[in-house]
Structure 1
Amino acid sequence: MERHVETMTFSVEQAKQVMATQCPFCSVQCKMEVVEDRSGRRPTYQVTAIPNKASEGRLCVKGMNAYQHAVSRERLLHPMIRKNGKLTQVTWEEALEAVSSRLSGLQAEHGAHAVGLYGGGSLTNESAYLLGKFARVALRTQYIDYNGRFCMSAAASAGVKTFGIDRGLTNKLSDIPLAECIILAGTNIAECQPTLMPYFTRAKENGAIIIVIDPRVSATASIADVHLQVKPGMDAALVNGMLKVIFDEKLIDEAFIKSRTKGFAEVKEHVDSLDLGEMADITGVSLDLIRKAAISFGKARTGMVFTARGVEQHADGHMAVRNFLNMVLATGKIGKEGCGYGAVTGQGNGQGGREHGQKADQLPGYRLIENPEDRAYIAGVWGIEPEELPGKGVSAYEMMELVHSRDIKGLFVMGSNPIVSNPNAVLVEEALERLEFLVVADMFLSETAKLADIVLPVTSYLENEGTMTNLEGRVLLRPAGRPAPGEARHDWQILCDLAYWLGKEKYFTFRQAEDIFNELRMASRGGIADYYGITYERLRKEEGIYWPCPSLDHPGTPRLFGERFAHQDGLAVFQSVDSQSPAEQPNHEYPLYMTNGRMLSHYLTGVQTRRSPVLAAREVENILEIHPSTARKYRLEDGVLASVQSVRGTVIVRAKVTSDIREDTLFIPMHWGDAQNVNRATPALLDPNCKMPDFKTSAVKVQPLAEYLREEQEKGLMKE
């Protein structure tokens, strides 16, 4: 038997279909209109930006061409089961029966926690919420986490410890032009969130000083008044240097510190003990530039700090962010117009995806799974007993280690491509190959889906209605514009169907996304991320609502911390931060730092953007950015294939010789799999506070590919 969920349909005679939607990619969530015209021999598409409060009616090249992956001939249209080693089309009934029986069988033999779920930061709030509920109610496993662990966990944990709450931006985007000084640390907004750049250029036109902290001369750094080209992994030390200047120059806001914070004396004592010259030496940034940046920020009447993965994806990412927050607090630049902190979310729903239960330690509304009151409340919403809820699991990469050790024997992956996105990817690939059972729900046959026993086809952004929460904490409603192609089903619909086959249907009786959102509202009520006052009706009328929004007549909360912080005593918390060096240091055999990041044309592991002909043509393969002096030293020329090796694995990429990077650093984007996957070389070091992997500082060596292959051949002959 199968459950049937109502889906939208359109007449085949309808030549033109107008679809109001929003971009599926970055955290801005730009609104757009896609017009599909089927009057000719082949369908044509026209994309137009829709004015909205976040992107102000702008679209970037990814948004303009997002429809291409949605209409791609590579879309998965039918469920598939591996038979005789080959994925073979089957009915939904056969696929769902097989998934439920295999998962149930593994749990019956090895216990509930033999099965894990792995989600994604691009799922709608409804799907993310339901995935967490499915794990804990339908399967009762503690093992669930998601790829957002690699995106926002350091900033999220730092925000919770410092402010008592984690929301991407503490203020509105429209505050940016009002800031007199802006720090962009480890964030390349010009390529990752390009529709936001006019906010910063407007700030410059108003006289703002822009400070960019990045080892590369990125597209964002090109607008900087001050560029601090820091060594990878030395952000916390750089901020300590800036704080020392701010303290020495008496640029702190004493009244704010006294009335709104605690812990300042300890930070002041720690920073006063540091030597500024040493900070310059270990960070690779000159003393003059450190002083210039610090005084600019300290003297500014208003100011904002933005961090992203360049700061956060380190083994000390949590503490590095906390030091930036120390600087925000010390100068009193938060809770008022033109001031604030922003963790620049990478994924489309990276903010909402981490609020409602995909994370190992969380329940909906940012409640904690180990808190008895939180467990009791959510159990009441879900109609179960608190003791039926499993405990806390482990982080995303730690799940891969448990798969590798065969503690987790079955894995359900939804909206993610862990074989490419995880660090230490060679181990992760080995782990997934060891699974007794792997099921993947995706739009395409990703690198991970190619290993699956069962693949389930899901809908795209054009077909799947639901809410997304952008980097501001603004909840947006994304309507569906067309019916699902083939037999593809919505993520949430698949979870409901599986719940039926598992005998848990009474907990998953949803017929549309709005039904799920209404339960999510109840589950989040009274929590830190309170969505209770947000409804689909309000979202249609008001375009978007900031959380927390605790009641139906509440306007939402665009700016946080105007009067108090979210800790029980209302105070923000300073924290002393050591000037640590990266855990993995270059050495004689591996003499260079390798860092990674994004490119304008691609998104995450490229599963969607590499299916867009326009976007794929812009960047057809991965690259290695290397300084001219470094390239000469290692016999590399522009355009040749190179081998980049760490103790973990090897990446094959084409060299791009450029002076826009430090001589001791290599840069490789993250959007390709297989031999071009940068994560074959990244370490499995995790931040102890938030379990963020240290993606940004790998010790590597580099050489021409031909030289590497010759050496490998000689090694092989020697073994023979």
Structure 2
Amino acid sequence: MTDLLLKYFRTKQQEVQTEKVYDTQCPFCSMQCKMQLIEQSIVSRKTYKTIGKDNPTSQGRLCIKGMNAHQHPFHQDRILHPLLKVEGEFVRITWDEALQHIKKQFEEIQAVDGHEALSIYGSASITNEEAYLLGKFARVALKTPYIDYNGRLCMSAAATAANQTFGLDRGLTNSLKEIPFTRVIMLAGTNIAECQPTIMPYFEKAKENGAYIIAIDPRETPTTQLADLHLKVKPGMDAALANGLLKVIIDEGLVDEAFVKERATGFEEVRSYVNSLSLDEITEMTGVPVDQMKTAAIKFAEEDSGMLFTARGVEQQIDGTAAVRNILNFLLATGKIGKAYSGYGAITGQGNGQGAREHGQKADQLPGYRLIENEEHREHVAKVWGIDKDELPGKGVSAYEMFQKINDGDITGMLLVCSNPVVSNPNANFVKAALKKLKFLVAVDMFISETAQLADLILPASSYLEDEGTMTNLEGRVTLREASRPCPGEAKNDWEIICEIAKVLGKEKYFPFQKAEDIFNELREASRGGAADYYGITYDRIRKEQGILWPCPDLGHSGTDRLFEETFAHEDGKARMVPVSNTSELPKEKPSEEYPLYLTTGRIMSHYLTGVQTRKSAALAARNFESYLEIHPETAKKYNIEQNTLVSVTSRRGTIKVRSKISDTIRPDTVFVPFHWAEDQNVNMLVGEDLDPTCKMPGFKVSAVNIKPV
């Protein structure tokens, strides 16, 4: 009797509580923190808890977003079935019906408008495998040149500048573990404390070890509070400030002449141009006093080691490429790259912002950072794909330019994957109007985002808990996101959706993949010998070694912790330096009588990108449930704006209404609005359509606006 009772109680206890543990990694920023989701079932109720897991990048740390990431996959609004728009309303259909509808629409569009009438808009939040597959799908299944992605709005200026300067773009030229031991750090336009919080201990440790930290930002932020010196530059004046720093070290005789002579070209041209400049004029342009420029430049040049980091504040401008190049001129002139505790880092924004731009989503690129207009590169990739290189289309256009082509009628169909361009792009009202002109828009997403609302068909995508694959973090470390939780409802992984569309279009033989690892193994071959060489990386190796930094050309290679120790990636082994003018001819907006204030945009800690996922997390939405306007007390008084009241913000493109947040941490001539909100709080409606001529980055960080109380 006693044994029966014990068995009964044990059975009841198991029914009352069971526990499942899912290994995964955070779906948000580029740190890609490893974590575990613990699911506990108590009777019929489930509870969830996320804990950090040790790894080389974040060492078990999590931020507020990572701890609450699980809340959006379980949200009641998640799409669980294909949805077809019928008379303005979405109705549930089967997967077979959805695929047949895509086949019919795509074939009709290409029959009438040509192959190039179809386009793909991708994402820097999907896995390497899915980014690779989208590039292959565009060029092999659709035979269209028109593919680009939301990473164009994030990392393109830094990537282009690094490629032009060094011949290679990897987020960090050194691994994160070197940061605590460098002697001086310059943070240009990066608010890592809010955007990549789990990276902060590296910089805090450096400060504890005596490093001098310089921050360049128009605002005081949690990041600038760590700095010993804050250069509060006028928005858009970063290139000119870099010339000021260069002039100081040239005048003071602090250039590493041996380094620039041996390792770089073009410095004499830079020196000649900078010698023609006046520090007082640069102060007038930038708002940074001469004595502060001198302190920053001399300190950085005189220390034995130093590291320089840029992010969106410098890059998201229509001269973002030139601004980053000039900052790299300064770094090279001090000789602080290619050696221990010295180097450059472009702080990647999106979760897979690094990997997603390496393997074919960009309009001009093929896997492994190969170029689509390079005959040798085309031949290599075509051979891996089993096609003739002449079948590959040419170069397409950038993300925003695709919407211009839609508006002009050149593109009439689009496959949109895990992105929300109606909110994220500049001149957002134009983008929305253009998308409405499409004959057919199919969106792959977890939720009905502001863009998915415009779609003719929505396909239910998987979340980070369900979608296994590799991601490449900000330092170039290829990691493996385990994902053992089954997809809910009829949701599918992005790679499965792409393969199923390819099959229905009759291209099955090119997309035979049964699991993510199969795709990765083909990616390895496609990237082999390229700039971003993943060939030596395998799932098994990543699991054993907790990630590998590319390039990794063979299975016996340990990965590359530090780039450019002996040569740069240009054919002659030297970095390229070029003069960058203080007086850019680009049509950058400046304040005027009608629009007297600078507007700059950025992120806050509790939200990610356009907020589609984070606003589905109650814990995150509660921290910041609406947007705001950060404004200096003097400016607020001048425009009769009181604390916590609604303010109308107007540019030449439109108007939004946000709540005031009066703070003396921002320049009096500048206001700040975060970009995570939509509709009448979408700050990107105010941003102009002008693009960086080289990388096609929009000018998110500099717009001219006026304000008034509502």
Which residues of 2 match residues 275-290 of structure 1 at below 5 A?
Answer: 275-290=278-293
User: CA offset at residue 428 of structure 1?
Assistant: 0.5
Q: Deviation string for 1:17-68 (max 9, x for gaps)? A: 1011110000000101110112243210111111111111110000000011
Between the aligned partners of 1:577 and 1:303, the Cα distance in structure 2 is: 23
- In structure 1, the partner of 2:592 is 587
- In structure 2, the partner of 1:15 is 18
- In structure 2, the partner of 1:618 is 623
Between the aligned partners of 1:445 and 1:528, the Cα distance in structure 2 is: 37
User: CA offset at residue 104 of structure 1?
Assistant: 1.3
- In structure 2, the partner of 1:698 is 703
Structure 2 residue aligned with 1:608, among 604, 613, 625? 613
Between the aligned partners of 1:15 and 1:145, the Cα distance in structure 2 is: 45
- In structure 2, the partner of 1:654 is 659
User: CA offset at residue 247 of structure 1?
Assistant: 0.9
- 1:487 matched to 2:490? The reply is yes
The residue identity in structure 2 corresponding to 1:591 is: P
Between the aligned partners of 2:206 and 2:523, the Cα distance in structure 1 is: 38
Q: Deviation string for 1:303-339 (max 9, x for gaps)? A: 0000000000011100100011111111110011110
Between the aligned partners of 2:470 and 2:462, the Cα distance in structure 1 is: 15
Q: Secondary structure at the match of 2:274?
A: helix
- 1:472 matched to 2:475? The reply is yes
Which residues of 2 match residues 48-59 of structure 1 at below 5 A?
Answer: 48-59=51-62
**Structure 1: gaps (5+ residues):** 1-10, 706-720
- 1:680 matched to 2:706? The reply is no
1:112–1:139 contact (8 Å) kept in structure 2: yes
The residue identity in structure 1 corresponding to 2:358 is: E
Between the aligned partners of 1:315 and 1:646, the Cα distance in structure 2 is: 17
Between the aligned partners of 2:606 and 2:440, the Cα distance in structure 1 is: 34
Between the aligned partners of 2:515 and 2:361, the Cα distance in structure 1 is: 20
What TM-score results when the alignment is normalised by the length of structure 2?
0.97
2:631–2:662 contact (8 Å) kept in structure 1: yes
2:149–2:361 contact (8 Å) kept in structure 1: yes
User: CA offset at residue 12 of structure 1?
Assistant: 11
Between the aligned partners of 1:195 and 1:37, the Cα distance in structure 2 is: 27
Between the aligned partners of 1:80 and 1:540, the Cα distance in structure 2 is: 37
**Shift in alpha-carbon separation, 1:544–1:14, aligned structure 2, 3 A:** farther
User: CA offset at residue 250 of structure 1?
Assistant: 1.1
- In structure 1, the partner of 2:89 is 86
- In structure 1, the partner of 2:79 is 76
1:530–1:548 contact (8 Å) kept in structure 2: yes
Structure 1 residue aligned with 2:549, among 535, 542, 546? 546
Q: Secondary structure at the match of 2:215?
A: strand
2:649–2:707 contact (8 Å) kept in structure 1: yes
Q: Secondary structure at the match of 1:401?
A: helix
Q: Secondary structure at the match of 2:529?
A: coil
Between the aligned partners of 1:426 and 1:634, the Cα distance in structure 2 is: 27
1:23–1:30 contact (8 Å) kept in structure 2: yes
The residue identity in structure 1 corresponding to 2:72 is: H
User: CA offset at residue 253 of structure 1?
Assistant: 1.2
Q: Secondary structure at the match of 2:381?
A: helix
Q: Secondary structure at the match of 1:167?
A: coil
**Structure 2: gaps (5+ residues):** 1-13
- Across the two proteins, how many residue pairs are aligned to each other? 695
2:22–2:485 contact (8 Å) kept in structure 1: yes
- 1:143 matched to 2:140? The reply is no
- In structure 1, the partner of 2:577 is 574
The residue identity in structure 1 corresponding to 2:141 is: A
Q: Secondary structure at the match of 2:373?
A: coil
Between the aligned partners of 2:590 and 2:222, the Cα distance in structure 1 is: 27
Q: Secondary structure at the match of 1:43?
A: strand
The residue identity in structure 1 corresponding to 2:605 is: L
Between the aligned partners of 2:242 and 2:59, the Cα distance in structure 1 is: 33
User: CA offset at residue 13 of structure 1?
Assistant: 11
The residue identity in structure 2 corresponding to 1:663 is: P
Between the aligned partners of 1:626 and 1:431, the Cα distance in structure 2 is: 33
Between the aligned partners of 2:340 and 2:314, the Cα distance in structure 1 is: 25
Between the aligned partners of 1:100 and 1:417, the Cα distance in structure 2 is: 24
User: What is the percentage of aligned positions where both structures have the same residue?
Assistant: 61
User: CA offset at residue 704 of structure 1?
Assistant: 1.2
Structure 2 residue aligned with 1:324, among 323, 327, 332? 327
Q: Secondary structure at the match of 1:595?
A: strand
**Shift in alpha-carbon separation, 1:633–1:40, aligned structure 2, 3 A:** farther
- In structure 1, the partner of 2:365 is 362
Q: Deviation string for 1:186-208 (max 9, x for gaps)? A: 00000000101111111111111
- In structure 2, the partner of 1:631 is 636
Q: Secondary structure at the match of 1:426?
A: helix
Which residues of 2 match residues 49-128 of structure 1 at below 5 A?
Answer: 49-128=52-131
Between the aligned partners of 1:12 and 1:173, the Cα distance in structure 2 is: 45
The root-mean-square deviation of aligned C-alpha atoms, in Å, is 1.2
The residue identity in structure 1 corresponding to 2:319 is: D
The residue identity in structure 1 corresponding to 2:511 is: F
Between the aligned partners of 2:701 and 2:656, the Cα distance in structure 1 is: 15
Q: Secondary structure at the match of 1:699?
A: strand
2:16–2:41 contact (8 Å) kept in structure 1: no
The residue identity in structure 1 corresponding to 2:466 is: E
Between the aligned partners of 1:140 and 1:17, the Cα distance in structure 2 is: 44
- 1:441 matched to 2:444? The reply is yes
Between the aligned partners of 2:178 and 2:579, the Cα distance in structure 1 is: 29
Q: Secondary structure at the match of 2:354?
A: helix
- In structure 2, the partner of 1:516 is 519
1:37–1:44 contact (8 Å) kept in structure 2: yes
- In structure 2, the partner of 1:199 is 202
The residue identity in structure 2 corresponding to 1:537 is: D
1:627–1:662 contact (8 Å) kept in structure 2: yes
Structure 2 residue aligned with 1:667, among 669, 672, 677? 672
- In structure 2, the partner of 1:27 is 30
- In structure 1, the partner of 2:435 is 432
Q: Deviation string for 1:521-558 (max 9, x for gaps)? A: 00000000000000001011010000000000000001
- In structure 1, the partner of 2:10 is none
Between the aligned partners of 2:19 and 2:439, the Cα distance in structure 1 is: 47
User: CA offset at residue 14 of structure 1?
Assistant: 9.3
- In structure 1, the partner of 2:253 is 250
1:107–1:114 contact (8 Å) kept in structure 2: yes
User: CA offset at residue 580 of structure 1?
Assistant: 3.5
User: CA offset at residue 354 of structure 1?
Assistant: 0.1
Which residues of 2 match residues 253-272 of structure 1 at below 5 A?
Answer: 253-272=256-275
User: CA offset at residue 294 of structure 1?
Assistant: 0.7
The residue identity in structure 1 corresponding to 2:438 is: L
Structure 1 segments (4+ residues) deviating >6 Å: 11-14
Q: Deviation string for 1:676-695 (max 9, x for gaps)? A: 00001001110011000111
Q: Deviation string for 1:165-203 (max 9, x for gaps)? A: 000000010111111110000000000001011111111
2:317–2:698 contact (8 Å) kept in structure 1: yes
- In structure 2, the partner of 1:185 is 188
1:328–1:334 contact (8 Å) kept in structure 2: yes
2:172–2:475 contact (8 Å) kept in structure 1: yes
Structure 1 residue aligned with 2:532, among 529, 532, 554? 529
Between the aligned partners of 2:15 and 2:345, the Cα distance in structure 1 is: 46
